[in-house]
Amino acid sequence: MKVDNSSLTGESDPLARSPDIGHTNPLEARNLAFYSTNCVDGSGYGVVVATGDNTVMGKIAKLVTGIKVEKTPIGIEISRFTTIITCFACFDGFLFLIICLAIGLTGTTSVLYTIGIIVGNIPEGLLPALTVALTLTAKRMASKNCLVKYLEAVETLGSTSVICSDKTGTLTQNRMTVEHCYLSDQIIRIAHNRQECQQLMAPVAHCWDLYSRCARLCSRSEFVDDDPDIMKRKVSGDASETAILRFMESVSDRPVRDYREVYAKVAEKPFSSTYKYQYSIHRNPDADPKMNNHFILAMKGAPERIIKLCSHVVAPDGQTIPISASHVINFEEAYRELGSMGERVLAFCDTEFTQFMPDHIFDLDDDNIPGAVAKCRTAGIKVIMVTGDHPITAQAIAKDVGIFTESHRRSTRISKPGIDRHRRPNSTSIVVPGDELAQLTDADLCSILSDFREIVFARTSPQQKLRIVENCQSLGQIVAVTGDGVNDSPALKKANIGVAMGIAGSDVSKQAADMILLDDNFASIVTAVEEGRRIFDNMKKTIGYICAGSVTTLYPFMFLVILGLPQAIGIITVLLIALGTDLMPAISLAYEKAENDIMSQKPRHPTRDRLVTRALILRSYFQIGVIMAAAGFCGYFYVFWGYGIDPWTLLAKWTWQNDNLFVYVFYNGQWNKTNKMEILYEAQTAYFICVVVCQWMDVIVSKTRRVSIFRQGLGNWVLNFSILFETCVCAFFCYIPPIANALHLRAPKPMVWACAVPFALYILAYEELRKFIIRNYPDSFLAHELLI
């Protein structure tokens, strides 16, 4: 009999069972059938040798339930940041409380100032901003076929440095044949004989010529042998393309391979279940220099998608005419009729480009698996294949999908006595079979994982997959695991992020995973990695922006206590900045697109590249925060100066508190405490307005960490709206009398808004210089100190 062990070993082909042992490894033995696997052919008698937890499936279940769920990297970072900021805020508050009491302030006043200090230190808008950022990213990833089960898992894949994939792609071997063609508004049953086919296609010769050209060119399938019987030739390609290739080889006057050499391929877009079509671009051997038609695009895909992309159709006489409603109706009826016959229907179309010069280079986004593996490598991510397939099969697939790019060797031989494991051959790739992996110590396994760039583990058991993940993690790597079978579930659960297949994946693997690929496409992982890196970048930008805004509420209290300067900001104004003007721009940074070099950067180091770094704190508290606070004090002093009170008078310690020292004539010759407070409220309002003006520029420069803002552009319309929103909020609180009076704010002169403009421009110049140094001198000491 034959059994399907794919859920345990990953092998898709049925395996014959017989009384012969064949191998001492239970998963390799030919006389064992396993609980939960299916008998797909034949019948047999057997003896039960294990039940319950003693079965292979039971052992896998015990492995999964015994694995402790690790905290996500972003969860660790957020906890670290909240701990630091809480301790810092409480320490500052307690210190200033002691100072206030020591200099003779009342208990009530001291407590109020202490509350202001604590509120000024804590970024109240951070939690909603980060929650929105994670939610938006999860939604974007879902639209790209990556379903995230936990919000924090959104960022984990962006931190990934190693991907252990059990399955990178298989070649389908279903037997399909071409049965019908729909040409010139008629369904034609085709023949696989050249002469018969020519006779059938004679009435629609023009359409047939274009169809056959497209069918031969728009394909990635190729013959791998020269069997005289075309229908028996082995083909590298999926079932549909195999059928089309065999059909065109049968009815064409020359081999398809020779025809493709004439129409040289220059670029292609592989098929994806997302957009349901594929196309390739070829040089036109019949190009007319006057027409500039040097390139031809050939496309095939789902009929309902192709028809929407087309504007013209070829008539029986060979003329190209606009598609009419009747053409569309006939087309839809035809593919419904063919579909009802149990046939798979594909539509073809082509066009000649006339806008490109002969030397034009096409740069298409290649979403296939080799392209995805190459992108992972460019992003500094090591892709390791961990499979249950035979080593020879695994080696061939690794070459085919781009995991192996150089010479490799089969045997490790590093655990043998007398062999120095630190001396490696010139090979950069290695295949490690499961039976040899079982003999390796953890030190030897870690040596392989760290020394070789291209690694394939073949014939691995669930326990060995789990061990590989654990050893990768012991090297400080953030590990992602992809899988679809029950045998992958222990590794999926142990990984920093487990990625299951949504279509072919078992329920057990989906349960153990943190993310599900809805299209079973490895290339979708690259998209998820980019989104994960984008969210980490955007979270750093959000924290930097919020902290810079929060510190502007801290400096006024410091100057009050140290210099006796009249309070430049009120407690209510602190909350207006933290939860009013700060919040919307902070959230808008979650919508910012990724910087163009994000996938060329190495994965972040889990201990060195933190969410909140010293450079970020220095930038927020002592660079941008100082500039914004200086702008606020500029507006603040401007208001006092307008009433004849110069800064030196205010800086004379505690002068402002002594009403008898102010003998200036204000308010029509009257001076009293009420009038004095009116001036102070107006000055505090000016401080608030100047901070908001600087926040405009701060949120703009916070759009990037390395790239110039002039290159990134202002395409984030949520952010653009947030600037308008915070300006309206500020004006609403300051210029609506009932609201302003209730909040102890007063409407200052319009010139106050202009006071902050030079400081905003200084922020722009400073940030552009900082990013210039980071981009052009990345290894310098200054760049390391300035990169937030």
Range of the domain at 141: 123-145+528-786
State the chain's mean pLDDT as an integer.
83
Say whether both 422 and 539 belong to one domain: no
Q: pLDDT of 708-735, one tens digit each? A: 999 888 889 999 999 999 999 999 999 9
pLDDT at 415: 43
Domains: count for the chain: 4
Say whether both 279 and 139 belong to one domain: no
Q: Is 90 part of any domain?
A: no
pLDDT at 670: 53
Average pLDDT over residues 647-675: 60
Say whether both 516 and 533 belong to one domain: no
Candidate from 19-23, 571-575, 655-659 with smallest mean pLDDT? 655-659
Final residue belonging to a domain, choices 479, 500, 527: 527
Say whether both 299 and 431 belong to one domain: no
Q: Is 112 part of any domain?
A: no
Say whether both 517 and 544 belong to one domain: no
Say whether both 514 and 536 belong to one domain: no
380: CATH: 3.40.50.1000
Instruction: Locate 634 and state its tokens.
Output: 């500029």
Q: pLDDT of 344-378, one tens digit each? A: 889 999 998 887 788 888 866 544 567 778 888 88
Instruction: Locate 377 and state its tokens.
Output: 């490598």
pLDDT at 170 over 80: no
Q: Which among 429, 682, 726 has a CA at the least distance from the CA of 570?
A: 682
Q: Is 710 part of any domain?
A: yes
Q: pLDDT of 468-502, one tens digit each? A: 999 999 998 999 998 887 888 899 999 989 988 87
- How far apart CA 18 and CA 2 sit, in angstroms, is 9
Residue type present at position 240: S
- How far apart CA 455 and CA 470 sit, in angstroms, is 16
635: CATH: 1.20.1110.10
Final residue belonging to a domain, choices 319, 353, 387: 353
Residue 732 region, left (φ>0) first, then alpha (ψ -120 to 50), else beta? alpha
Say whether both 714 and 655 belong to one domain: yes
pLDDT at 528: 83
Candidate from 120-134, 186-200, 495-509, 747-761 with smallest mean pLDDT? 120-134
Q: pLDDT of 294-332, one tens digit each? A: 899 999 988 888 988 888 898 877 788 989 888 889 998
Catalytic site positions: 166
Say whether both 766 and 739 belong to one domain: yes
Which of 166-175, 519-528, 658-667 shows the highest mean pLDDT? 519-528
Q: Is 348 part of any domain?
A: yes
Task: Give the orientation angle of helix 523-551 with respect to helix 107-121, to 10 degrees.
Answer: 160
Q: Is 618 part of any domain?
A: yes
Average pLDDT over residues 381-393: 83
Q: Is 96 part of any domain?
A: no
Q: Is 69 part of any domain?
A: no
Say whether both 411 and 337 belong to one domain: no
Cβ(739)–Cβ(732) below 8 Å: yes
197: CATH: 3.40.1110.10
Say whether both 349 and 388 belong to one domain: no
Final residue belonging to a domain, choices 503, 527, 551: 527
Average pLDDT over residues 599-618: 83
pLDDT at 652: 65
Say whether both 522 and 536 belong to one domain: no
Q: Is 111 part of any domain?
A: no
Rg (CA), the chain: 35
pLDDT at 107 over 60: yes
Q: pLDDT of 538-559, one tens digit each? A: 888 988 998 898 888 888 888 8
Cβ(432)–Cβ(455) below 8 Å: yes
Q: pLDDT of 77-86, one tens digit each? A: 888 888 888 8
Q: pLDDT of 204-232, one tens digit each? A: 888 999 999 999 998 888 888 888 888 88
Say whether both 280 and 406 belong to one domain: no
